[in-house]
A and B are shown apart, each in its own frame.
Chain A
Amino acid sequence: MLDRMKGIGELTLKGMVAANAPSIFKGMVNELLHQYHITPEVIIPMVETDQSLWSLVNEKHYEKIKKVAEQVKNIDWLTGDWFIEAIKKEHPALASLFLGWPRGKAKKWLDRQISETKKKLVENNLLPQP
């Protein structure tokens, strides 16, 4: 009985996470940007040298992201535009950087980072093959 209740609970939680994935990801992204002190001064050289954003993320946070991703089956909504919209309230300077860089260089870099993230999640069997 207890196991069944536990299973129902897990299913409920999973469903809840899946249903609110963008919101959860938004909170996570903003929090991670805070924790890693990501500012335009950090991002500018990364864009200019085409450095991966994942080089900044440590293993523990990556595991956390993986755990959240396990609950989500569809992340088509995760795009560069979504990312900018998600951070513009708490990190307006960063959002401004992605929006204002000439010829959309920063935006393209951001899109590449998101593609890389998706690829990683697919490679780890956390997401179905597109």
Chain B
Amino acid sequence: MAVEDVFNPQSKVITDPKVAQEKEGSDEARYWEEKRKTARSKREFESEERAARQADNMEANPPEPPLQVKGSVDLGHFDMQAQQKELKETIDRIQSEAKTKMDTLSEKNEHYRDELQKIQITMVEGTLKAQIESLQKALTEGLAKPKDPNIVDQVNQIEQIAGVLGFARPGADAALPSEIRLQMYKMEMDNTQAQRQFEWDKMMSERTWQLELKKLEADAQSRSIQVQQEKEKRGMWATPFESLGTAIARGLIDNGGAVSGSPAKRKRSSKQLQAGENDSGTIECPECGEPMAIPPKARSAVCPSCEAVIPIQRVSDGEPDA
């Protein structure tokens, strides 16, 4: 066995302060990690122990079971064929009963119909008999009475019936006798008729008057047209000769008919006319007031009376033409 030199240790630990510091830090972390693991193990152990204890308790004192219903029901035996058979029998029975009832009702119906027919026939017979009797009676009475009853009686009768039925003529004077009332009606009717006739006559006379007026107007118009035509006709035939004769005479009188061939000297007027671009027509001379013409597109107009040349300023759309 080798002797250990205790004064000279075998291994030397060279400690770097920086590394040592880092190592010291990691040791601390490891320490706390172990502490955490220990604590967790302890906690787990305790919980396991608690669970084991509870299991033991459960085994020793088991809990009461939940509510349970026990028992059985015997529904017996179902025979479907028997049931169907029974049902069919029931239906057949109901149908036969209904048929019997319907037969009975139809028999009753026919009986009532026969009864009704009998009653109707009896009624018709009765009515006819009554009508025949009344007709016979009326015939026997009618032969005895006059054919045309008095209208006054008829009116009275009608009024009596109306009175019985609760109708009365509004405003009727019950105190007046029927004859007088009838006369009054007649008079009213005559009056109305007369008024109507009067209105008709008035309308007709008005119409006739209007027609006459129109005829007169038409006559007057046609006469005036005739006169006008006559005048024109006469004018066509007579006027030329008359007026031409006058014209010849006038021509002869007028300066002996001499027409000077040389025109007078014209002078330019200081006045100016304004006209539209396409204007032409007749105006009064600004110098002498005599009529003169503006030829189309002319820049000056000549007055033959005063021999003035009037400049024309053409204006287009409100703007003077340069």
* A interface residues with partner B (beta carbon < 8 Å): 20, 22-28, 30-31, 34-35, 39-41, 44, 48, 60-61, 64, 77, 81-82, 84-86, 88-89, 92-97, 99-102, 105-106
Bound Cα distance from A25 to B244, whole angstroms: 10
Question: Could you write out 12 A-B pairs with CB less than 8 Å apart?
Answer: A22-B259, A23-B254, A26-B251, A27-B244, A27-B247, A31-B243, A60-B240, A85-B259, A96-B292, A97-B295, A100-B293, A100-B298
Q: By the criterion CB–CB under 8 Å, are A92 and B291 in contact? A: yes
Most buried by B among A26, A28, A30, A100: A100
Q: By the criterion CB–CB under 8 Å, are B261 and A102 in contact? A: no
A64 to chain B, nearest CB (A): 6
Q: A31-B246, A93-B293 are in contact. Are A24 and B251 (CB under 8 A)?
A: yes
Partner of A20, one of B240, B247, B257, B294: B257
Q: A92-B290, A93-B282 are in contact. Are A27 and B249 (CB under 8 A)?
A: yes
Bound Cα distance from A41 to B298, whole angstroms: 15
Q: By the criterion CB–CB under 8 Å, are A28 and B295 in contact? A: no
Q: A22-B257, A100-B300 are in contact. Are A30 and B295 (CB under 8 A)?
A: no
Bound Cα distance from A84 to B303, whole angstroms: 12
Q: By the criterion CB–CB under 8 Å, are B263 and A40 in contact? A: no
B256 at the interface (CB under 8 A from A): yes
Number of interface residues of B (CB under 8 A): 41
Q: By the criterion CB–CB under 8 Å, are A95 and B295 in contact? A: no
Q: Total A-B pairs in contact (CB under 8 Å)?
A: 120
B237 / chain A contacts, CB cutoff of 8 Å:
60
4 new A-B contacts, CB < 8 A, other than A23-B256, A82-B261, A95-B304, are: A26-B251, A35-B243, A92-B292, A96-B293
Partner of B295, one of A26, A89, A101: A101
Q: By the criterion CB–CB under 8 Å, are A28 and B293 in contact? A: no
* B interface residues with partner A (beta carbon < 8 Å): 236-237, 239-241, 243-244, 246-252, 254, 256-261, 263, 280-282, 290-305
Q: By the criterion CB–CB under 8 Å, are B296 and A85 in contact? A: no
Q: By the criterion CB–CB under 8 Å, are B240 and A64 in contact? A: yes
B128 to chain A, nearest CB (A): 103
Closest to A95 in B: B304
Bound Cα distance from A105 to B293, whole angstroms: 14
Q: A44-B296, A96-B292 are in contact. Are A26 and B257 (CB under 8 A)?
A: yes
Bound Cα distance from A23 to B239, whole angstroms: 20
B240 / chain A contacts, CB cutoff of 8 Å:
35, 60-61, 64
Q: By the criterion CB–CB under 8 Å, are B251 and A96 in contact? A: no
Closest to B280 in A: A44
Most buried by B among A25, A39, A64, A99: A99
Q: By the criterion CB–CB under 8 Å, are A23 and B292 in contact? A: no
Q: By the criterion CB–CB under 8 Å, are B292 and A27 in contact? A: no
A20 / chain B contacts, CB cutoff of 8 Å:
251-252, 257
Closest to B284 in A: A93
Bound Cα distance from A86 to B250, whole angstroms: 12
A129 to chain B, nearest CB (A): 25
Closest to A83 in B: B259
Q: By the criterion CB–CB under 8 Å, are B305 and A92 in contact? A: yes
Closest to B252 in A: A23
Q: A88-B304, A92-B303, A102-B295 are in contact. Are A22 and B258 (CB under 8 A)?
A: yes
Bound Cα distance from A37 to B281, whole angstroms: 14
B102 to chain A, nearest CB (A): 111
Bound Cα distance from A75 to B260, whole angstroms: 16
A94 / chain B contacts, CB cutoff of 8 Å:
293
Q: By the criterion CB–CB under 8 Å, are A99 and B302 in contact? A: yes
A49 to chain B, nearest CB (A): 12
Closest to A43 in B: B293
Bound Cα distance from A22 to B260, whole angstroms: 11
Q: By the criterion CB–CB under 8 Å, are A48 and B296 in contact? A: yes
Bound Cα distance from A99 to B263, whole angstroms: 11
Bound Cα distance from A100 to B252, whole angstroms: 29
